[in-house]
Amino acid sequence: MKIKVFVTPKKNVLDPQGVAVGHALESLGLLGLRSTRVGKVIELELDGGDSPQFRAQLDKLCRDLLSNPVIEDYHCEITGG
Amino acid sequence: MNISVLQFPGSNCDQDAFQLFASGLGLPTRFVWHKEKRLVDTDLVVVPGGFAYGDYLRCGAIARFSPIMGAVREHAERGGLVLGICNGFQILCEAGLLPGALIRNSSLEYRCITCDLAVEDAGVAFNTRTVGRRVRMPIGHGEGNFRIDEAGLERLETNRQILLRYVDNPNGSLRSIAGIRNEEGNVFGMMPHPDRCFERFHPSRDGVKVARAVLSKRFPEILKESAA
């Protein structure tokens, strides 16, 4: 199965990178921009199927390693499970 | 008292930290490779600056899972002293040994300057009496912007866990925080480098005072030596 983990800065945490990218988008003529947030996508491919146990394990890995809950949110998309 | 300086792949201030304690303070100091699982006869663990694991994923995110970090956690839980400098501070936050997190500087620039820092009254070990009202220490980081939620920030203030504040905030840190301690007062983290200010040719010799203050929690006698 394939898993995409999306990690984004928390809504209430300053995202200096997002602010800078937003400024660049505006300077290129983008109108009406309200907010820009820069995150990252982590793609995993692994053997085995989806299950509640696997979801729990994935959730823990996201909290412990792939994201830092102090500053980031995450969500996962699983396909081919 | 024995000092252990950790070494991760990508640490680059390990030698500086070693010299601070070995030559600046004249204490028995050794390196401990991150693959080790035990700390031998250690009073203070120093987690040095650098770019452990290339800062991949997030600064400190991968280093916190190194084998030695289990021993560091046990050492800290027993009340042992831990000092994280720069990348070491980031690693201790990622490991949950210190609250909060360090994100990209608000300027997006890597800042490499010598900073004036206001010393806070952070309890018995670290205060203006043991360190002085102001110190001057170099910083060199791209991710030193300290962040924590509102409740956590108030806890830091109320418990007097803030060690140092920038006089002129170089990175956007909340309330100009440059260094903190844990609630128990045995784990310390700071972005400025005491390991880059202890020799005659350094911008100041304040690193020695800061290092002594960290040790004085367990070894109050070390402050007498600084008066001598």
CB B8 within 8 A of CB B46: no
How many CB atoms within 10 Å of residue B144?
28
Q: Does domain B3-227 have CATH number 3.40.50.880?
A: yes
pLDDT tens across B4-49, in order?
999 999 999 999 999 999 999 999 999 999 999 999 999 999 999 9
Closest CA relative to residue B217, chosen from B134, B131, B153, B116: B131
Q: What is the per-residue pLDDT across B114-156, written as a single tens digit (0 to 9) for each?
A: 999 999 999 888 999 999 999 999 999 999 999 999 999 999 9
- Taking an 8 Å cut-off on Cβ atoms, the answer to whether B172 and A9 are in contact is no
Domain A2-79 sits in CATH at 3.30.1280.10
Nearest CA in chain A to B98: A70
pLDDT at B94 over 60: yes
Tens digit of each residue's pLDDT (9 = 90 or more) over A45-65: 999 889 999 999 999 999 999
CB contact under 8 A, B106 and A66: no
Interface contact B103-A66, CB threshold 8 A: no
The rounded mean pLDDT for chain B is 96
Provide the pLDDT for residue B37: 97
Q: Please give the average per-residue pLDDT across A12-28, as a whole number.
A: 93
CA distance B82 to B43: 8
Structure-block tokens of residue B82: 């831990």
Q: Compute the distance between CA of residue B228 and CA of residue B205 in angstroms, rounded to an integer.
A: 16
Rounded Cα gap, residues B207 and B192, in angstroms: 9
* Interchain proximity A14–B101, CB inside 8 Å: no
Q: CB-hemisphere CA count at 13 Å for B201?
A: 0
Give the pLDDT score at B227: 53
Alpha helices in B39-95 (DSSP H): 67-77, 87-94
B163 has pLDDT over 50: yes
Calculate mean pLDDT across residues A21-36: 96
CB of B61 within 8 Å of a chain A CB? The answer is yes
The pTM of the full predicted model, rounded to 2 decimals, is 0.94
Boundaries of every domain in chain B: 3-227
Residue A30 has pLDDT above 50, yes or no: yes
With CB atoms and an 8 Å threshold, state whether B103 touches A65: no
pLDDT at B55: 94
CB B51 within 8 A of CB B12: yes
Percent of chain B's residues with pLDDT above 90:
94
pLDDT band at B228 (very low <50, low <70, confident <90, very high): very low
d(CA B22, CA B199): 12
Residue B204 phi/psi, 5-degree rounding, is -155, 175
Q: β-strands B29-33, B111-119: how paired?
A: unpaired
Q: Which residue has the tokens 């956590």?
A: B152
Which chain A residues are closer than 8 Å to B93 by Cβ?
70
Chain A residues near residue B57 by CB distance under 8 angstroms: 65-66
CA B37, B38, B39, B40 torsion-angle sign: negative
Structure tokens, B115: 């900073």
**ipTM value:** 0.85
